[in-house]
Amino acid sequence: MKVENFDFGTTKEGEKVSGIRINNEKGLEMALISYGATLTSLKMTDRKGKQEECLLGFGSVSDYEKQDAFIGATIGRVGNRIGKAAYVLDGKEYKLSVNDQGCNHLHGGAKGYDKVIWNIEALKETDRTGVRCTYLSRDGEENYPGNLEVEVIYWLTADNELIMDYKAVTDKRTPVNLTNHAYWNLSGEHRETIHDHYLQIEAESYLPVDEVSIPTGEIRKVEGTPFDFRKLKQIGPDLEKSQGFDHNFNLSAEKKETPSNRIYLEHRGSGRAMEILTTEPGVQFYSGNFLGGLKQMGLDTHYALCLETQMYPDSVNRKDFPSIILNPGEVYRHTTIHKFSHIK
């Protein structure tokens, strides 16, 4: 596989941003930058062999700094929302920064992992090449307890896979829920919206949310609702019925030892398909409802979609949801595999 290092400019604070690009022999190409350990590009061939862009991304650091949609970034310390921007751990209340709808803490806060500089380096193995991203999240950063050592390796394989391997250790009890905020559009070069994509999410239930997008606590069956993606179906018809998707689908009751929870996406016009296998019990399906707020950057509503593999939202405030508390001596692990292929 071919590996290329490149410069990606400097942040407004004067920090240098570097990048690594990897190509395999089947036309799959990945690029990642140190700002936010952000995936800036994922190019793959269509059924005719034409390589095109399938991720939202920007060409400059300043564009990433301007946007608030977490595009392509590694997310932490806690992905998704924490209601009322607060939680209690071991009898102590932790008040967090508010950065969502005037009341919630979203994706790690005002300066989450998406807005910091990571250390990145290329790794090579026999049948895969990757980018190892590391970051030390200090005790008290965004008011989370404990020094959290985070490692994420983004692997590109000879078999047309993108594998995300997350690992973290802490010296104090702390909540951890890491994910990636890639925005997918398999039509190629974003020539279409997501309406003609077909999606399958192997989940029997989802989490309804309140008026500020926090789970109500109910675990509702998908049967008979627009949220039923158990069988492959076109996304478009249900976008209006659901008023757009931004919900957690419950793939399993607990985290899996191996990546076996499944999501599948295809675009029939281009012939591109993507199967996702994950260890995580949930996936947040976000249909790009608010990308219209970035029209000045060339984006629009439903321009791309996110399939964020994760633990359940607001888990720190719900004892009936799978726990996201990491203890000293334990190792947080999360693996998500994206398998790219073609359909006829």
| 187-221 pLDDT tens trace | 999 999 999 999 999 999 999 999 999 999 999 99
Annotated binding residues, as ranges? 80-81, 181-183, 246
In the block, tokens 């190509």 appear at: 23
Rounded mean pLDDT of 28-32? 99
Residue 241: predicted pLDDT: 86
Enter the tokens of residue 325.
Answer: 């508390």
Q: How confident is the model at residue 295 (pLDDT cuts 50, 70, 90)?
A: confident
Residues annotated within a binding site for beta-D-galactose: 80-81, 181-183, 246
pLDDT of residue 213: 97
Identify the burial level of 5 via C-beta atoms within 10 angstroms of its C-beta, where 0-12 means exposed, 13-18 middle and 19 or more buried.
Answer: exposed
pLDDT of residue 131: 99
Q: Please list the active-site residues.
A: 181, 308
Q: What is the C-alpha to C-alpha distance for residues 170 and 146, in angstroms, rounded to an integer?
A: 6
Residues 6+ apart with CB under 8 A from 341: 160, 273, 274, 275
Work out the average pLDDT over 152-174: 99
Structural domains for the chain: 2-342 (2.70.98.10)
Cβ contacts of 263 within 8 Å, gap of 6 or more: 199, 200, 201, 202, 251, 275, 276, 278, 283, 307, 309
pLDDT band of residue 174 (cuts 50, 70, 90) is: very high
pTM equals: 0.97
The 3-state DSSP class for residue 294 equals: helix
Q: pLDDT above 70 covers what percent of the chain?
A: 100
